[in-house]
Amino acid sequence: MSSLKNEISASDFEVEAQDAQRQVQHQAKLRLVSLVHGIRVALTVLALAAGITVLGVAANGLIVYHETYLPPDFFLQLWPAQFDLRPTQALVAGGVLVVVANIVSLLFSRVQALRSKTGLHAIASLAAPAIGFVASLVAMSLFYAVNASTTVDSLQSWSCRWKDVPMRTQPHFGTLCRQSEAGVALAVLLVPLEAAILAVAAYQVVLERQAARV
């Protein structure tokens, strides 16, 4: 009888030890999930800021162009007759998609009512950076493909050609050139940044599923 009690006590101890081990593993997984989640949110905020900047400088360039463009009837023209706005328009479109995608991602990451919906949260965590990555990649591809022309100027090539001309009023070619170069640099940065966010988001989804199983 005493031997049976000892066996039962030992069995209970083993079960409690296993439960304690599972709790430790679960807590470790949760801490890792929290760390990865924080990294993803920080990268998403950075991508959002870059997207807003790209959108802002590209849209400003288009606005200045339309405000200062003169029809061919005028003898004094600030812009060439043949002009390609598609590179700048590609940056505007890419910037809009990046901004919207990252805002949606942040909403699902920070709003508890949305974050509690595990399935939607996982989909949004992966879909948002995927959309941002594709949008930034396509925008950059279109920008460099169209901007490579040696016969037709774009907003960047024309403004940078005349950037040293002092101007007291719009279009301020020097300012437009610097803004365009900054927008392009950030758009290039967005491609690997969105790819990194997508990789971190995928890792977070795997960790969350592992933590749920534990």
CB 130 within 8 A of CB 198: yes
Task: Give residue limits of the domains in the chain.
Answer: 23-213
- Kindly list the averaged pLDDT for each block of 10 residues, start to end, along the chain of length 214: 52 60 70 89 94 94 89 72 87 93 87 63 83 90 77 88 87 92 92 94 86 68
| Tokens representing residue 68 in the block | 């200062």
CB 32 within 8 A of CB 207: yes
pTM: predicted TM-score of the whole model, two decimal places? 0.82
Q: Give the residue among 59, 67, 61, 63 at the shortest CA–CA distance from 153.
A: 61
Three-class DSSP category at 72: coil
